Amino acid sequence: MIVPVRCFTCGKVLADKYYEFKKRVEAGEDPAKVLDDLGVERYCCRRTLLSHVELIDQVMVYRVY
């Protein structure tokens, strides 16, 4: 739901790379090349960034005051 701070498998910090990755992929770049440029080499970290879905906006509708 929120940006993954660390890889769920190995614990490497990924939060600092997520928004750059998202911006470049939405601009039309190849996700594999973007991950290579950002230095994300482990397949567990690549999976974490590739499979993340932003759901926080949908969940915020149901927040309790």
Q: What 3-state DSSP class applies to 64?
A: coil
45 is in an annotated binding site: yes
10 is in an annotated binding site: yes
Contact criterion met (CB below 8 Å) for 53 and 25: no
Per the DSSP assignment, residues forming a β-bridge with 6 are 13
Cβ atoms within 10 A of the Cβ of 46, count?
Answer: 19
56 is in an annotated binding site: no
7 is in an annotated binding site: yes
Question: Annotated binding residues, as ranges?
Answer: 7, 10, 44-45
Question: Annotated binding residues for Zn(2+), as ranges?
Answer: 7, 10, 44-45
